[in-house]
Amino acid sequence: MAEVDENTPLLRSGRSAKGDNPVHVMVPQPVETLGSLGSDETRVALPESRPNENSFPNGRIERNISVEKIYPISLSWKNVSVSVKIPAKKKWCSRTTQKATEKSILKNVSGLVNPGTLVAIMGASGAGKSTLLNVLTSRNTKNYVFNGDIRVNGWHIGSSIKGISAYVQQDDLFITTLTVREQLQFRALLRMDKKLDKASRLARVEDVIVEMGLTKCANNRIGDAGGGKKGISGGERKRLSFASEALTNPPIFFCDEPTSGLDSFMAQNIITTLQKMASKGRVILCTIHQPSSELFSMFDQILLLAEGRTAFMGTQRAAMDFFHNLEYPCPNNYNPADHFILTLAIVPGQEAECRQRTHAVCDKFCETEEYIKMVNQAEDLTQTARHSKTDPLLNDILAGESRYEVSWLTQFRYLFWRSWISMFRDVILTRVRIMQALTLAIVLGLIYLQQTVDQKGIMSINGAIFLLITNTSFSNMFAVVNSFPLELSIFLREYGTGLYRVDTYYLTKTIAEVPLFVAVSIIFATITYWMIGLYGSLEAYLIAVGILVLVANVAISLGYLISTLCGSVTVSLAVAPPLLIPIMLFGGLFVNNGNIPVYFIWLQYLSWFKFSNEVLMVNQWRNIDYIPCPNITIPTIPPNITTPSVPSMPQCLYRSGKDVLDYTSFSEDNLVLDIILLVVLQVGFRFLSIVALFIRARRSKE
């Protein structure tokens, strides 16, 4: 490890002033960042006394990294091996069973990255780049069989590395209706240290906006080009991803394909941003796929992987020399990155020859001076840590009582704010829902316009009542079956970083949608009720509106359950109709409640159509004491003509509202029970949906 005295010259991007190999500086003194955002240069100096190279200021590091200081971190990994278990399979046409096997992905990979270093992890497809990143970040390792040692400043870190690192994934996921500033403010208010007041957090947001070059688009909505919502550019979205993670000033950044999908100019801007971030003393590792020669030259170090092994780790110049010595020189005017990847690639039809060359390169690297020096530096850090009495880094990371930085109430407050403005800024969807309710209400009202209470009108009124329930159920349930799938990836990512709890997210999202759905249900019920000409009293109208609002909430609750269980818009839309149709059939219109088969009686207790239909039918007919009968003239039959005996037919089937209720097997005595059961169904569906969401969230963290 290079020694640095008090007269150390200024360092830029982790390189020495002479521009040669990166300087490996292990300093416990924090590097100031916010006070020098306008400068690309950062002075790194040793304290006057160095009793322990592995110690941190005051013997501790904040669990939520300070917004004013970056603590220098050296990340090392030794003999990391990863394999994936392939379960046993039995062919349907054969009695033989294929035995379970293990597929090796990484094989004894070692490396070391010091503060202020920007590293590119490169290799052909299947070389193990993403697997190494997952292992180092302790994410997405559910199916991995892992062996090896990962340390921070010599301390074994394990999954606690999440507390001091940021992981910028390839996909940039945001709530599209928020502005850039609102997105950062939301994360700052939920994720930054609880000891900081609101003003300090918002000030940090403004600093990060300037640092990441987002000033011009700070007040622009993020948008989604794929979804037809105009917003910020792809490069700005990627910088916003970095800004979201940089709010807490983590000393380690892991980036998965940061330039994917960007043009050369945008890609260069992103790497320039990463250079500036590294120059503040951070460790930054990026997987990158075939960078241009300009991008390649911007990295401080490269890590080449081949067939799950380390083919090289060091500077570009050292890599050129290494491959030249192995008689694989890079041609003139040729991109070195392409040359390295092609040299280490497995060409179809030449697998044996390519693997032999690749293994020879990897074996040779393990004998080089760079590799031995890197291993010795990592071992020095480990030995220093072993002689320390305490483990200040891990002790403080794990010292927090909760994985969340703010209280449940604070999470609820800001999540509700985001859900509220996100819903009402989606003006098109809001207008469509209102116009849908108005159109259907008017059409149904015109079809059943002012029905009369007589023998012919009874069937029409009963059908109209059931249609009110059916339309309210279908329109509201299908309005939310895509609710959670559309935001599921965002939710799982934010939950995984400890931004908020499952229950706060579920409650705020569902509560924020209540006013719109209630308003739409009231509009629909009011128009249809008076156009159809149902029982004309204020009390009956209010009961009908209340029941239809309750029906809407029950249907929405089932929609939430389907939404959380399926996790996909396509699957949700395919599952919803087969579930809803049987429930509708037992609503009392298609099958008389007195004629339901014994083996299906239980299903009627899941049918809110039955309970709501009974309430609305009782509400319509219980106060009608007389239903007029038509005047029927019976022709006189001459006495000399004999006629077969014909049973006498009653002129009136229904003489009062009670007759209508008796015929449909509905009773006024069940009124309160029906309302209670509607509430129970609503609560039950919502409880099951939050349980399903919680299980999905927990599985995503495994």
What is the arithmetic mean of pLDDT over 326-352?
Answer: 89
Q: Are residues 505 and 595 in the same domain?
A: yes
Dist CA 328 CA 330 (whole Å): 7
229 forms beta bridges with 224
Round to the nearest angstrom and report the end-to-end CA distance of the chain: 37
Q: Tell me: pLDDT of 211 over 60.
A: yes
Instruction: From residue 500, give the alpha-carbon distance in Å to each of 178, 491, 697.
Output: 18, 9, 12
Dist CA 531 CA 464 (whole Å): 11
Q: Tell me the Ramachandran region of residue 314: left when phi exceeds 0, alpha when psi lies from -120 to 50, beta otherwise.
A: left
CATH number of the domain to which 105 belongs: 3.40.50.300
For 52, counting Cβ atoms within 10 Å of its Cβ (0-12 exposed, 13-18 middle, 19+ buried), the class is middle
What is the structure's pLDDT at 25? Answer: 35
What is the structure's pLDDT at 547? Answer: 96
Residue 66 in domain? no
Assign 193 a pLDDT band (cuts: 50, 70, 90): confident
What is the structure's pLDDT at 206? Answer: 94
Residues contacting 36, CB < 8 A, separation 6+: 42
- Residue-wise pLDDT tens digits, 74-86: 999 999 999 888 7
- Residue-wise pLDDT tens digits, 623-680: 888 888 776 544 555 556 555 554 444 557 788 888 889 888 888 999 999 999 999 9
Instruction: From residue 406, give the alpha-carbon distance in Å to each of 247, 381, 415.
Output: 15, 35, 12
Q: Are residues 381 and 258 in the same domain?
A: yes
Are 258 and 284 in contact by the 8 Å Cβ rule? The answer is no
Dist CA 277 CA 285 (whole Å): 12
**Three-state secondary-structure class, residue 661:** helix
Residue 257 in domain? yes
- Of the residues 397, 431, 464, which one is the last residue of a structural domain? 397
Q: Are residues 256 and 377 in the same domain?
A: yes
What is the structure's pLDDT at 390? Answer: 62
Cα torsion 203, 418, 174, 285: sign? positive
Q: Are residues 257 and 110 in the same domain?
A: yes
Write the DSSP string, 431-452: HHHHHHHHHHHHHHHHHTTT--
b or e along 262-293 (b: 16 or more beta carbons within 10 Å of the residue's beta carbon)? Answer: beeebbbbbbebbbbbbbbbbbbbbbbeebbe
Assign 46 a pLDDT band (cuts: 50, 70, 90): very low
Residue that has been written with the tokens 């690309």 in this structure: 40
DSSP code of residue 111: E
Max Cα distance, the chain (Å): 136
Are 433 and 516 in contact by the 8 Å Cβ rule? The answer is yes
Are 588 and 610 in contact by the 8 Å Cβ rule? The answer is yes
**Does an H or E element contain 117, and which?**
strand 117-123
Average per-residue pLDDT in the chain? 82
**Three-state secondary-structure class, residue 113:** strand
More confident site: 29 or 251: 251
Residue 637 in domain? no
- 656: tokens are 């009062």
- Of the residues 369, 397, 425, which one is the last residue of a structural domain? 397
b or e along 432-443 (b: 16 or more beta carbons within 10 Å of the residue's beta carbon)? Answer: ebeeebeebbee
Percentages helix, strand, coil for the chain, rounded to the nearest 5? 50, 10, 35
Instruction: From residue 667, give the alpha-carbon distance in Å to each of 143, 600, 660.
Output: 57, 21, 10
Q: Are residues 271 and 375 in the same domain?
A: yes
Instruction: From residue 290, give the alpha-carbon distance in Å to each of 124, 263, 328, 444, 503.
Output: 9, 13, 18, 61, 43
By C-alpha distance, which of 346, 253, 304, 343 is closest to 129?
A: 304
Q: Are residues 541 and 624 in the same domain?
A: yes
Q: Are residues 330 and 459 in the same domain?
A: no
Name the residue range of residue 302's domain.
75-87+98-171+251-397
**Does an H or E element contain 98, and which?**
strand 97-98
Are 122 and 341 in contact by the 8 Å Cβ rule? The answer is yes
Instruction: From residue 20, give the alpha-carbon distance in Å to each of 295, 483, 655.
Output: 18, 54, 102
What is the arithmetic mean of pLDDT over 459-473?
Answer: 93
By C-alpha distance, which of 212, 300, 288, 230 is closest to 257?
A: 288
For 81, counting Cβ atoms within 10 Å of its Cβ (0-12 exposed, 13-18 middle, 19+ buried), the class is middle
What is the structure's pLDDT at 275? Answer: 92
Residue 413 in domain? no
What is the structure's pLDDT at 568? Answer: 86
What is the structure's pLDDT at 37? Answer: 31
Are 150 and 82 in contact by the 8 Å Cβ rule? The answer is no
Cα torsion 278, 283, 287, 292: sign? positive
- Residue-wise pLDDT tens digits, 501-552: 999 999 999 999 999 999 999 999 999 999 999 998 999 999 999 999 999 9
For 216, counting Cβ atoms within 10 Å of its Cβ (0-12 exposed, 13-18 middle, 19+ buried), the class is exposed
Residues contacting 672, CB < 8 A, separation 6+: none
Q: Are residues 453 and 391 in the same domain?
A: no
- Residue-wise pLDDT tens digits, 350-404: 888 888 999 999 999 999 988 999 999 989 888 887 877 665 555 655 555 556 7
Q: Are residues 610 and 482 in the same domain?
A: yes
Q: What angle do CA 365, 367, 372 make, to 5 degrees?
A: 95
Dist CA 575 CA 695 (whole Å): 20
Are 259 and 170 in contact by the 8 Å Cβ rule? The answer is no
Residue 439 in domain? no
Assign 18 a pLDDT band (cuts: 50, 70, 90): very low
**Does an H or E element contain 284, and which?**
strand 283-287
More confident site: 32 or 292: 292
Residue 200: CA count within 13 A, CB half-sphere: 13
Q: Are residues 512 and 576 in the same domain?
A: yes
252 forms beta bridges with 165, 283
Write the DSSP string, 5-34: -TTPPPBBTTB-TTS-SBP-----SPEE-G
Dist CA 413 CA 508 (whole Å): 8
Are 69 and 32 in contact by the 8 Å Cβ rule? The answer is yes
Residue 65 in domain? no
What is the arithmetic mean of pLDDT over 309-323?
Answer: 93
Q: What is the Cα gyration radius of the chain? A: 35
pTM across the whole model = 0.79
Q: Tell me: pLDDT of 7 over 50.
A: no
What is the structure's pLDDT at 98? Answer: 63
- 503: tokens are 């229950």
Backbone angles phi, psi at 65, to 5 degrees: -55, 140
What is the structure's pLDDT at 631? Answer: 61
Q: Are residues 377 and 460 in the same domain?
A: no
- What is the dihedral angle through the alpha carbons of 266, 271, 277, 280, rounded to the nearest 10 degrees? -140
- Of the residues 381, 397, 413, which one is the last residue of a structural domain? 397
Residue 204 in domain? no
What is the structure's pLDDT at 551? Answer: 96
Q: Tell me: pLDDT of 8 over 50.
A: no
Q: Which of 32-41, 56-65, 144-153 has the highest mean pLDDT?
A: 144-153
- What is the dihedral angle through the alpha carbons of 300, 306, 308, 311, rounded to the nearest 10 degrees? -50
Q: Tell me: pLDDT of 338 over 50.
A: yes
Are 675 and 615 in contact by the 8 Å Cβ rule? The answer is yes
- Written as one letter, the residue type at 425 is R
Residue 50 in domain? no
Assign 96 a pLDDT band (cuts: 50, 70, 90): low
- Written as one letter, the residue type at 277 is M
90 forms beta bridges with 97
CA 141 to chain centre: 18
Percent share of the chain, pLDDT over 90: 46
Q: Are residues 263 and 140 in the same domain?
A: yes
Are 524 and 441 in contact by the 8 Å Cβ rule? The answer is yes
* Number of domains observed in the structure of the chain: 2
- Written as one letter, the residue type at 437 is A
